[in-house]
């Protein structure tokens, strides 16, 4: 097979959408997923296939459900025989005190943000091992490094993603598969749209760069990581304007 393939989870909007468009623009054939926004995901597919000479396959399902992930890979292998790049972007946030967090909400955050990475890697790695080549990029958060008040569960899941990234990189390095994470700061997406104007101004004062990051800047870093240095692995790279 002479072309490259990528799987991007959580690609119906925001960072995931931008990553998918950037990869398509650089010749990657894609499978893109989301949990609920099927119509938005199809819009991304239509845009990609009308602008770039690549194939784009969609899958709607919960990446925090192992059976759904297995089904997704079954569809993937109908179109592609190998996997060059796995981008784990699917995730949700939760704002509130730990004591107000229900066990169900805790489990949901763990499944969506952390178990999903385990599931997609577990089923995707064999497709990379066949050719001893591949890259896994996990979209994480600076809160997985520093922790955030009122985002305890979210911070815990992203800390787990960072630790998984470092450990898995050591397992896969002998097979020429690199695993890295991007710890995003405040990115201008719907996930941060809950802030009032005053809260946003206060946040920007804390960020040395003086602005929010853009989804296309995350996408650009993903492209750099999957096209450049094969010796770079096991890293959690901060993309936060100097914030943390």
From first to last of the 244 residues of the chain, give the pLDDT tens digit: 468 999 999 999 999 999 999 999 999 999 999 999 999 999 999 999 999 999 999 999 999 999 999 999 999 999 999 999 999 999 999 999 999 999 999 999 999 999 999 999 999 999 999 999 999 999 999 999 999 999 999 999 999 999 999 999 999 999 999 999 999 999 999 877 778 899 999 999 999 999 999 999 999 999 999 987 899 999 999 999 999 9
**Residue 57 structural domain:** 4-239
* 223 domain residue, yes or no: yes
Would you give the DSSP letter of residue 111? Answer: I
Instruction: State the pLDDT at residue 190.
Output: 82
Beta strands in 17-80 (DSSP E): 28-34, 56-60
- Give all strands of the β-sheet with 28-34 in edge-to-edge order: 56-60, 28-34, 4-8, 85-88, 134-141, 177-184, 236-239
Residue 164 lies in a domain: yes
Residues known to be catalytic: 154
Specify the pLDDT at position 140: 98
User: Quick one: pLDDT at residue 194?
Assistant: 76
| Residue 244, domain member (yes or no) | no
Which residue, among 95, 137, 88, 136, has the nearest Cα to 113 in the 3D structure? 88
Q: Would you state the pLDDT for residue 2?
A: 61
List the CATH number of the domain containing 19.
3.40.50.720
Q: How many domains does the chain have?
A: 1
Token digits of residue 157: 């899941």
């Amino acid at each position: 097979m002479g072309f490259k393939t990528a799987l991007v989870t959580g690609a119906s909007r925001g960072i995931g959408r931008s990553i998918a468009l950037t990869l398509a623009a650089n010749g990657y054939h894609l499978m893109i997923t989301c949990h609920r926004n099927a119509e938005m995901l199809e819009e991304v597919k239509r845009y990609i296939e009308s602008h770039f000479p690549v194939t784009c396959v969609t899958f709607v399902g919960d990446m925090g459900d192992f059976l759904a992930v297995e089904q997704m890979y079954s569809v993937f292998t109908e179109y592609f025989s190998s996997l060059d790049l796995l981008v784990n972007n699917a995730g949700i946030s939760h704002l509130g005190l730990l004591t107000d967090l229900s066990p169900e909400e805790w489990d949901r955050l763990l499944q969506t943000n952390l178990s999903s990475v385990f599931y997609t890697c577990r089923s995707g790695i064999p497709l990379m091992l066949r050719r001893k080549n591949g890259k896994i990029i996990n979209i994480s958060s600076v809160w997985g490094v520093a922790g955030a008040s009122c985002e305890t569960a979210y911070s815990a899941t992203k800390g787990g993603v960072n630790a998984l990234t470092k450990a898995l990189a050591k397992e896969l390095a002998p097979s020429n598969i690199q695993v890295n994470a991007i710890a995003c700061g405040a990115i201008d997406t719907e996930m941060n749209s809950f802030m009032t104007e005053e809260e946003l101004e206060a946040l920007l004062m804390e960020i040395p760069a003086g602005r929010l990051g853009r989804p296309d800047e995350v996408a650009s870093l993903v492209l750099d990581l999957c096209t450049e240095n094969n010796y770079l692995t096991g890293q959690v790279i901060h993309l936060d304007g100097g914030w943390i």
